[in-house]
Amino acid sequence: MREEIENIAAATVEWLAEHGRTFATAESCTGGSIAAAITGIAGCSAVFKGSVVAYSNEVKAAVLGVGEDALATYGAVSEEVVKQMAQGVQRVMNVDCAVATSGIAGPGGGTPEKPVGTVWIAVAVGGDVFTRLLQMDDKGRKANIEHTVFSALAFFKECAAETERG
């Protein structure tokens, strides 16, 4: 999986550079792993501005501007919250594009409604925000995080291509 992550991170940096776009991440369950994948690519400093690891709801609200009502109503692992995280980091970092993740990497923390392996991803490209729900089989914390990193960057590329088509 490490090689696949490196490849998709390189393709992401290349796309951003080719299109003159800037990028940031807002990460909860991935704990900065998407940012680490991007910063592992030479030349990323031309496009990557930074990351907010918003593991607690307090940071999601105070730094990214996620609404307390969204956190209370939907929970941190929700489409509404991850959308607000992506838009928040886009605003805070003043970037064109952003990726946000919030989920349950395990081994604990799951519920019947949101079991371990449940992850929401949001991608912001310009003013458009796209979301995707991942419901992975629990393969352990490290594997769940790696799968989420790859999936988030692949989803970003998919959304970026979609915005290009108009």
> What total number of domains does the chain contain?
1
The pLDDT value recorded for residue 165 is 76
- pLDDT reported for residue 166: 64
The rounded percent of the chain whose pLDDT value lies above 70 is 99
Q: What are the DSSP E strand ranges found in the chain?
A: 23-27, 48-53, 97-103, 118-125, 128-135
pLDDT at 97: 98
What per-residue confidence (pLDDT) applies to 163? 85
**Average pLDDT along the chain:** 96
Domain interval for residue 151: 2-165
Q: How confident is the model at residue 136 (pLDDT cuts 50, 70, 90)?
A: very high
Helix (H) or strand (E) holding 139: none
Whole-number pLDDT of residue 120: 98
Counting residues of the chain whose pLDDT is more than 90, the rounded percentage is 95
The stretch 121-135 carries a mean pLDDT of: 97
Check which CATH number belongs to the domain holding 52 and give it: 3.90.950.20
Model confidence, pTM: 0.97
The model's pLDDT over 1-33, given as tens digits with 9 standing for 90+, comes to 899 999 999 999 999 999 999 999 999 999 999
Contact assessment for residue 5 and residue 150, using Cβ atoms and an 8 Å cutoff: yes
